Amino acid sequence: MKEKARNLRKNQTDAERKLWYHLKDRRLAGFTFRRQHPIGHFIVDFVCQEARLIVELDGGQHASQIEEDKGRTAYLETRGCRVVRFWNNQVFGEIQAVLTVILGILEADFPSPRPSP
C-alpha cells in the first residue's frame, strides 16, 4: 500500500497538483495536509489528520462509479473522518471557492482564539 501511495504522489493529476500547491507547507491557515495517504485499505487524495478531514478530487471516471465512491466515503466515515469531494473542473475554475469550503470546515472545528479585550 505504501508503494502504491508513493507512486500516486509521483504521478499526480493536474487537479491534484494544483490543489496540493495550496495545501502543502501549511499554506491553508496553518493546517497540515498529507497527499495520497493510506487510510485502511484506501489511499485518499488529501487528508488533514488533525481535523480528520479528507479531500477527494473526482474526474470524469467518477461519474460511473458513484456507488463505489459512496461505499468508500461510508467506510472512511466509520473511521471517524469527514469526506468532502470536488470535481476536477472545480479545482481548475473555482480554486478559491474550493479553498473557502475546505477552510470553512476546518475553522468550524478549530476556531481561532478570540482576541483579548
Please state, in angstroms and rounded to a whole number, the distance separating the CA atoms of residues 73 and 12. 21
Output the pLDDT for position 114.
43
How many other β-carbons are positioned within 10 Å of the β-carbon of residue 96? 8
Output the pLDDT for position 8.
76
pLDDT tens string for the chain (117 positions)?
777 677 677 778 999 999 999 999 999 999 999 999 999 889 999 999 999 999 999 886 655 577 888 889 999 999 999 999 999 999 999 999 999 999 999 998 777 654 545
Residue ranges and CATH numbers for the domains of the chain are: 2-108 (3.40.960.10)
Output the pLDDT for position 11.
72
Output the pLDDT for position 45.
96
Please state, in angstroms and rounded to a whole number, the distance separating the CA atoms of residues 98 and 83. 14
Please state, in angstroms and rounded to a whole number, the distance separating the CA atoms of residues 43 and 98. 21
**Cell representation of residue 28:** 491553508
**Please, which residues bridge with residue 42 across strands?**
39
Output the pLDDT for position 63.
55
Output the pLDDT for position 64.
58
Give CA 65 to chain center in angstroms.
19
Output the pLDDT for position 65.
72
What are the start-end ranges of the E strands in 1-117? 34-39, 42-48, 53-58, 82-87
Phi and psi at 99, nearest 5°, equal -65, -35
Q: HSE of 55 in the Cβ direction (CA atoms, 13 Å)?
A: 28
H or E segment to which residue 72 belongs: helix 66-78
